[in-house]
């Protein structure tokens, strides 16, 4: 199976972020990852945890968009403060930092694998993100890198 051509740059850039950021994250001091906070009051550990959740949720959405009804209803973990609930419930603040880095890396490597499996006839299938917003499989994959970069830039600003 060949990867969808328009996803090649996205996959390449996700892989590039993993290669670039894994050593940067590993070198951060404990007080930097646990104490400094962004505008949403999240530490670097919590931001990375959010990126793990994002990769996981996008993986599930991509899979569901291949076999469920179209448009697909699937919970949006990012609305109504739910992403903060996910961060709190999983208590990323107390998670081992190296485990978080590895989980972030391997969740994204798996997401890249799943993106490579996407079928072209499913690209216009949509997920109902909210009553007034639908997101196609095509858009979800294309927009993932923007979300990843947004939060990696937040981490960069806290270093």
- Strand runs (DSSP E) across 45-103, as ranges? 72-73
Interhelix angle 8-26/137-158, rounded to 10 degrees, is 20
Read off the pLDDT of residues 88-114 as tens digits, 9 standing for 90 and up. Answer: 899 999 999 999 999 999 999 999 999
Range of the domain at 104: 5-158
Q: Extract the tokens encoding 20.
A: 């670039």
The count of domains in the chain is: 1
- For the domain that residue 93 is a member of, what is the CATH number? 1.20.120.450
Read off the pLDDT of residues 54-96 as tens digits, 9 standing for 90 and up. Answer: 999 999 999 999 999 999 888 877 766 688 889 989 999 999 9
Mean pLDDT of the chain: 93
């Amino acid at each position: 199976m060949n990867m969808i051509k328009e996803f090649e740059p996205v996959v390449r850039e996700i892989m590039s972020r993993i290669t670039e950021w894994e050593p940067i994250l590993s070198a951060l001091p404990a007080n930097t990852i646990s104490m400094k906070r962004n505008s949403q009051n999240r530490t670097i550990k919590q931001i990375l945890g959010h990126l793990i959740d994002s990769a996981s949720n996008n993986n599930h959405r991509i899979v569901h968009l291949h076999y469920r009804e179209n448009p697909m209803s699937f919970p949006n973990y990012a609305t109504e403060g739910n992403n903060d609930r996910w961060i709190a419930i999983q208590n990323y603040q107390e998670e081992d930092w190296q485990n978080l880095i590895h989980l972030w890396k391997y969740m994204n490597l798996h997401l890249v694998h799943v993106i490579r499996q996407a079928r072209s006839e499913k690209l216009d299938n949509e997920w109902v993100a909210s009553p007034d917003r639908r997101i196609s499989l095509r858009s979800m994959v294309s927009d993932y890198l923007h979300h990843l970069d947004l939060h990696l830039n937040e981490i960069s600003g806290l270093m």
